[in-house]
A and B are shown apart, each in its own frame.
Chain A
Amino acid sequence: MQKLTMKKGYRFRMAGAPADELVVLPAPARVAVLPERIPHIKPRLLVKKGDQVQIGSPLFEDKRNPRLRFLSPGGGTIHDISFGPRRVVQAIVIDRKENPEPETRFQAVTESQLAQIDRQALVDRILDGGMWWAFRELPFRDLPAPDGEPPFILVSLNAKEPFQPSPAVYLKDHEQLLAYGLKALNVLAPGRVRVFADASESSVIEKAGQWLTHVVSGNYPCDDPATVLYRIKSDASQNRAWFVAGQDLLALAHLLREGRYPIRRVVAVAGSAAPDRRHCQIRLGAPLSQLVDDARLRGGERFVVGGLFRGYSSDSDGYVGFYETAVNVVPEGGDPEFLALFNPGVSRPSYSRTFLSRLNPKALVYNCNMHGDLRACIACMHCADVCPVDLLPQMIYKSILAEEVEEYLELGLLDCVECGLCSYVCPSKIELSRTFIATKAAYAKEQAVKPD
């Protein structure tokens, strides 16, 4: 076990952390899959409204590679398929049938079979079981090509983003499943699997320590796979590492070991405006209404599915996406504050040292106010100071505006871990990270068109 210490990033004291209790919620009447929330893919629907589906029946495939199929997390009838602008498939909603819920079975792989299975056979099992989405490839965070040879497979157990489920909670009683999953990854990338947890997770380190290769200590996003890769890579050939999130690894292991499509998820319900802050075990694709009791909100809240720095905002009648493992409810904060400029700021969160909150040991409430207007860059360099992978965000931003492709690639745009911290700290409120994510995605698309 190696120690990695990261100095940059952002240490926040944020109110609204979830309690460690785990509540198992009953299966909801409806579940949904949100193709729109799976980055990069081009979905081709395989079902239509009114079709009967089982848990594990294919709902859609990726036009770019039809072997990448996405399966239904519920058995019953397709209630609705909703489309957004330019016919983007937003949601496929399934009305569940109870007792028994129809389910497709897959071939299970026992522990002893796993020890001998060859790589191709295992890849086929995962593709058939519709769990290839558990893998994503850096730097674009797209689904990797199934026959690719990853330089590393990175498994991050933690998510320091506010607020994500604690690994101590979702790993509880599943250590064996984790071990099984890691063996499976070892078949795909023998000796190149790297597993890490945050140094503050002492109970996880105690229980799962034997499987960890790295313990990271530092601030958000020190435990992001891309941050870790930045630290451990030794040459450019390792840039295209794959990564798997902790819970996605458990899901993958569940599919292989049990031969059943994994539908269990632990999500954190958190945020300073959430009525109950805790961990919930839900069905994959459960509605938000099941997690947050609308009637107990005061009004003026925002639902963020995922963490506060990377998640997407959603109406209270939305659903939890495939990759998301948290619902954060925070105050919208849309009222202009009187004399905000002169507020000594005892409880104003800030990365800078210009507020008295610096000396306030209490956890602070973060809201969604912009706290300022768009201005020209004043070269305060907060963005560079906070960036976990030593980028110069303001320079990259300028070269993106000037369309200097060579220059921003050289400056390391593709190393960006998409943590959102540069946008967070910017006093000029420049949308740095959003621009970087869009530029990376456009570049990825270009590369896909003309492979060299």
Chain B
Amino acid sequence: MKAIRQFFENQRRHFEGNAPLARLEPFYEAMERVFFGTGQVTGQAPHARDSLTVQRYMMLVIVMLLPCLFFGMYNVGLQSFKAAGQPLDFWPMMVFGAKIVLPLVIISYLFGFGWEIVFSAIRKHPISEGVFVTAMLFPLTLPPSTPWWQAALGISFGVVLGKEVFGGTGRNFLNPALTGRAFLYFAYPIQMSGDAVWTAVYNHGAQAVDAVTAATPLALATTAPASQTVEQTLAAAGYDFSTLFLGFYPDSIGASSALLCLIGAVVLMIIGVASYRIILGDIIGVLALGYVLNLFAGEGSAPYLGMNPFYHLIIGGTAFGIAFMTTDPVSAPDTHAARWIYGFFIGALTVLIRVFNPAFPEGIMLAILFMNVFAPVLDHLVIRLRIRKRIPNI
């Protein structure tokens, strides 16, 4: 510990005053905070301050994302091996998955954190630890076949145009990770959709093994034949409820396991890092709209209408989005009532987009970004109501 302290003390002079690296002081501070708490004390009342820091807040989210990351590595390997007809041994699959996933994560961190440093130096604001969460969220939403340059481009777009152009963390109204993801989706529709992208190509020696990529559950649900229910179609493709719930199907890297997202959401709600209002609002929204659509299902209608609403929660990115994306407090509304409404609309819109707009099989991404834009309006309405209830004091 002494040695690390010493190291930081020695390096500090390069970042202070007129030293050449003075502009990178925020970077120094961010790195020092990984190892040491602050030595600052309060100047005035209140003399004591809470032990919670922004760093810890963000770290806890990252910790809850790690299971999704590791599962993602495994699942990427699993789906590729399955497609290539390889023996399904744990370690080879894990290593294969890691080789696909880790570079994307590293690229995301390099570029995300890099932009944050650049902007903190130009704008002279501290590094915002939120970028560490953004840089972890982003690669987990990508298809495993994403080229590295696209990952770099996407995270850069997310951090710079999703956040920094608005003035940095706290002023941005869009979720930066999703902004980057949506940018890739619209800029490179070919590489970002279709059945093939969700399974990484397994190379054996020099030549690629002829792979039979499986369709994603979302694609199957949209195209289910009218003679069958969606559940039957999915089950026929090997996706029964528990497979879907556990996440063993081709999807974006870290988003497939509803179970891990559920665990993450529950833990984050218990420790108060994620708003339970948003999460429950989301779930209620999905289920409510799912049931409403069930009412319209019948002879001749698309079988998607009649799908068990719980399936919406476990296929595709809904669970991941609910647990980790909708709960980003900065892009969500602030007031409690507005958070319920925000959640509900995200859930409802997700289902609507999925069922009625086959061009966008994944509804939650657009639903969240759309509601991000409306978050300030919801807040404004709720605050007007609150003010009307207060006895004025002016």
* Chains A and B form a bound pair: yes
Which residues of A are at the interface with B, using a C-beta cutoff of 8 A? Answer: 139, 233-236, 239, 302, 304, 306, 308-313, 330, 332-342, 345, 348-355, 357, 366-382, 384, 390, 392, 394-395, 409-412, 414-415, 420-421, 423-429, 433-434
Residues of B within 8 A of A411 (CB): 383, 387
- Which residues 46-87 of B have a CB within 8 angstroms of A? 46-57, 59-60
B393 close to A (CB within 8 Å): yes
B332 close to A (CB within 8 Å): yes
- Does B270 lie within 8 Å of A376, measured CB to CB? no
- Does A374 lie within 8 Å of B126, measured CB to CB? yes
Query: Considering only CB atoms and an 8 Å cut-off, how many residues of chain B contact the other chain?
Result: 58
Residues of A within 8 A of B390 (CB): 390, 412, 415
- Does A311 lie within 8 Å of B391, measured CB to CB? no
Interface-lining segment among B32-40, B257-265, B363-371: B32-40
Q: Which of A355, A374, A380 contacts B329 (CB 8 A)?
A: A380
Residues of A within 8 A of B57 (CB): 354, 378, 380, 427
- Does B34 lie within 8 Å of A308, measured CB to CB? no
Q: Which 3 A-B pairs have the closest CB atoms?
A: A340-B37, A376-B170, A372-B53
Which residues of B are at the interface with A, using a C-beta cutoff of 8 A? Answer: 1, 4-5, 29, 33-42, 44-57, 59-60, 125-126, 128-130, 168-171, 270-273, 275, 329-330, 332, 334-336, 383, 386-387, 390-394
Residues of B within 8 A of A376 (CB): 125, 128, 168-171
- Does A334 lie within 8 Å of B47, measured CB to CB? no
- Does B391 lie within 8 Å of A352, measured CB to CB? no
A446 to nearest B CB, angstroms?
Answer: 12
B332 to nearest A CB, angstroms?
Answer: 7
Residues of A within 8 A of B54 (CB): 372, 375, 378, 427-428
Q: Which of chain B's residues has its CB closest to A434's CB?
A: B44
B330 to nearest A CB, angstroms?
Answer: 5
Q: Provide the bound-state CA to CA distance between A56 and B340, in Å.
A: 61
Residues of A within 8 A of B270 (CB): 353
- Does A349 lie within 8 Å of B48, measured CB to CB? yes
- Does B38 lie within 8 Å of A415, measured CB to CB? no
- Does A420 lie within 8 Å of B46, measured CB to CB? yes
B19 to nearest A CB, angstroms?
Answer: 20
Q: Provide the bound-state CA to CA distance between A334 and B38, in Å.
A: 8
Residues of B within 8 A of A304 (CB): 45, 47
B353 to nearest A CB, angstroms?
Answer: 26
- Does A340 lie within 8 Å of B36, measured CB to CB? yes
- Does A353 lie within 8 Å of B272, measured CB to CB? yes
- Does A311 lie within 8 Å of B329, measured CB to CB? no
Q: Which of chain A's residues has its CB closest to B48's CB?
A: A366
Q: Which of B4, B169, B275, B393 contacts A378 (CB 8 A)?
A: B169
Q: Which of chain B's residues has its CB closest to A376's CB?
A: B170
- Does B391 lie within 8 Å of A235, measured CB to CB? yes
- Does A350 lie within 8 Å of B36, measured CB to CB? no
Residues of A within 8 A of B29 (CB): 373
For the complex with contacts A392-B335, A412-B393, 4 further pairs of A-B residues with Cβ separation under 8 Å are A336-B39, A373-B40, A395-B334, A411-B387
Knowing A354-B271, A424-B48, A427-B50, say if A341 contacts B391 (CB, 8 Å). Answer: no
- Does A392 lie within 8 Å of B46, measured CB to CB? no
With a 10 A CB-CB cut-off, give which of B56, B168, B171 has the most chain A CB atoms: B56
- Does B38 lie within 8 Å of A335, measured CB to CB? no
- Does A423 lie within 8 Å of B49, measured CB to CB? yes
Q: Provide the bound-state CA to CA distance between A341 and B35, in Å.
A: 7
- Does A427 lie within 8 Å of B44, measured CB to CB? no
Residues of B within 8 A of A373 (CB): 29, 33, 38, 40, 53, 126
- Does B330 lie within 8 Å of A378, measured CB to CB? yes
- Does B271 lie within 8 Å of A353, measured CB to CB? yes
Q: Which of A341, A372, A382, A412 contacts B34 (CB 8 A)?
A: A341
Residues of A within 8 A of B126 (CB): 373-375
Residues of B within 8 A of A239 (CB): 391, 393
